[in-house]
Chain A
Amino acid sequence: MADDTSRTLTLSDPGEALRRAGVVYADYQSAKPVDPRVVEAMLPYLTEKFGNAASLHGVGDVATAALEEARGRVAAFFGAEPREIVFTGGATEASNLALAGYALRNRRKGDHVILSEAEHISVLNIGKYLEKQGFRVTRVPIDLHGRVSTRKLRARITDETILVSVQWASSEIGTLQPIAEIAELLDGTGIALHSDAVAAEGLVPIDTGVVPVSLLTLSSNDIYGPRGLGALYVRKGVQVAPVLLGGGQERGLRSGSEDLASIVGFAAAADIMAAGMPAEVDRIRAIRDRLIERVLAEIPDSHLNGHPEQRAPNNAHFRFDAVEGEAMVLSLRDEGIAASTGSACSSKTLEPSHTLISCGLLHEEAHGSLEFTFGRWSRMEDVDRIMEALPGVIARLRALSPLYKTSAPAAP
């Protein structure tokens, strides 16, 4: 049959696609486009080299080779050995394997786990699960910038402590945690250190060869790989019990036939990031810094949340007096700008961001938060567009608000 079933795939450049849609995307922390180069690397593994690595035939062998080669490249990006990378179905799953998997496996050593108050809600919820399983879970507080104090952490360690979990950076306010310091504190104590690194990937160097963490939660999408794939770094010598049971893939730690195409994508994303990270970080940081500069200068009663210097280079998290977060995000949506908020009204539980409250903000301040995160396809023009809209959005909402003290008459 002369039927030609091959297709030519045209992949849009994500930046172009956003511009055509008239959207300024500043919510990279929620979701990132997959880099078109990553998609190209993945495609053959969907339609041609689609085999199961467990199969004993030639098609399976091609898959095995691709799987292990990809594992090596992902491991290298994080300074790890291939054997130390376990692929999972996303970062949350990796955190489950890290926290529940480690605690349940090492219960005979103790039953005390310490989490920071700045952890992502997924980690805190796994902590609640561990409490139901009989573990004692303590939270170590953060300072006004959201940073964990090693002094306060040390004071909470007991003979029963087996695991400490502190994020590498806050996905919300961007503050970088003193992971190296904490790793040093725990070195030789037998206490494992887990770090949720998703908000730091591709933004600051993460090298397990340099910083002796025991467990790292990693996400593919955070370095512009496909979403729905993650990895848990498990340091040689650290034991975890699996949370997903089945046929025993990933050395028994994560059953289920591997998502080979996505894993190849993760590796391609790691290679691209390794080649371009310093330049990309500088570029993103400049865009982010410009937004912070302009907001604080041009919008009255605006404040930056999180540490002014020790922060992820992509994150600009603000609060504005007397306005509410969801209202800001909706208004910005109407202007074609995508941003996010930690206000109570916007959450599923109607509780404001626990991180902001733990920083010491009053509830009303936490409600007025607005987060912008930049990434690979962000441009300096995005800041211009945001600043064309934001002052007006804030002014309109303040004119509506009974809390903003102004002598100007309310809008008609």
Chain B
Amino acid sequence: MKSTQYSEKTLEHFRNPRNVGTLEGEDVAVGRVGNPVCGDMMDIYIRVGDDDSIRDIKFQTFGCGSAVATSSMITELVRGMKLDEALKVSRGDVADALDGLPPIKMHCSNLAADALHEAIKNWRAGVGPEDAKKQPGGAACHPIPAEVAEVEIENLDAYEGKGLYKRLDDLAELADERVVVLDTGDAAAQLAMDLTDHTGRVVLMTSGKEPSVSPAVRSALRLSDVKVLAEAQPLELLGEGELERIRVHDLNEDEEYELTADAFVVLE
């Protein structure tokens, strides 16, 4: 079955999703699951009343047709429910309410249920929305230090002079190359921004949710062309005689993948 052979109900929720948005306040919690690496990310916000019921609910989703439809549907299903009742809503319930999902898309309904459960968990743990979004979220939860962890990268020194840079005197050397800069503080972030004058592909890799930089640098980064790759830890450098790929650990999903790169800058 084609992945997009969706039911009319699913398409309706995709075209006209219910409860899109965010919530703020003392009586609000949020659950975030997924991450952009895997192509699906959902935030579900709940406003909880004194009687432990879901008084209001909103969602935001990055993802495909069924990702949008399942998150929309679950907000419709649990609105008004007591939290304990809401916890019982399963991915099967969401898929059934949508008149079924293509088998390859069932994981999206799982994500929607997980996001809701995460919101309820955060509510009960007293975790507010801002803090919930800062922590690694969802099913793959790892306690990661706020400081940049000491990186033990295999083959680091083997690639010195062959794509690995511990210092960079002439930025023009990296013209049109795919450069990854490791987050080691303000200097690295500033270097990354300067590099965008010479190449269109600069990635700032950080193991945290955000790079460990000062507020001023953070603002400048947001406006720059530097692409921030968060919750990523470099494991190994790879390539035939020169750097071609970096094996990366995605801390959020606890998965490994290879990132194509021509240069890796790890400032001392």
**Residues in chain B near residue A348, CB distance under 8 A:** 3, 104
B100 within 8 A of A: no
Nearest CB of A to B245, in Å: 8
Q: Give Cα A352–Cα B37 distance, bound, in whole angstroms.
A: 10
Most buried by B among A141, A325, A327: A327
B14 within 8 A of A: yes
Q: Which of B39, B178, B201, B261 contacts A363 (CB 8 A)?
A: B39
Chain A, interface size category, equals 35 or more
**Cβ contacts A to B, 28 pairs, < 8 Å:** A141-B244, A144-B176, A155-B241, A326-B64, A327-B14, A327-B63, A327-B65, A344-B39, A345-B40, A345-B64, A348-B104, A350-B104, A357-B258, A357-B260, A360-B259, A360-B261, A362-B227, A363-B38, A364-B36, A399-B20, A400-B61, A400-B62, A403-B62, A409-B21, A410-B21, A411-B21, A412-B20, A412-B21
Q: Which of B42, B43, B240 contacts A156 (CB 8 A)?
A: B240
Mark each residue of chain A from 70 to 105: 1 if its CB lies under 8 Å from any CB of chain B, else 0. Answer: 000000000000000000000000000000000000
Given contacts A152-B240, A346-B64, 7 further A-B contacts (CB under 8 A): A144-B178, A327-B14, A330-B4, A358-B260, A362-B227, A401-B61, A402-B61
Q: Give Cα A268–Cα B232 distance, bound, in whole angstroms.
A: 54
A365 within 8 A of B: yes
**Residues in chain B near residue A344, CB distance under 8 A:** 38-39
Q: Which of B64, B229, B240 contacts A362 (CB 8 A)?
A: B229
Shortest Cβ-Cβ A-B pairs, 9 listed: A364-B36, A345-B64, A326-B64, A410-B21, A360-B178, A402-B60, A360-B260, A363-B37, A367-B39
B41 within 8 A of A: yes
Mark each residue of chain B from 3 to 15: 1 if its CB lies under 8 Å from any CB of chain A, else 0. Answer: 1100000010011
Q: Which of A144, A352, A401 contacts B62 (CB 8 A)?
A: A401
Q: Which B residues lie at the A interface, using CB under 8 A?
A: 3-4, 11, 14-15, 17, 20-22, 32, 36-43, 58, 60-65, 67-68, 104, 176-178, 200-201, 203, 222, 227, 229, 240-241, 244-245, 257-262
**Residues in chain B near residue A324, CB distance under 8 A:** 39, 62-64, 67
Q: Which A residues lie at the B interface, using CB under 8 A?
A: 141, 143-144, 152, 155-156, 322-327, 329-331, 334, 343-348, 350, 352, 357-360, 362-365, 367, 399-403, 405, 409-412
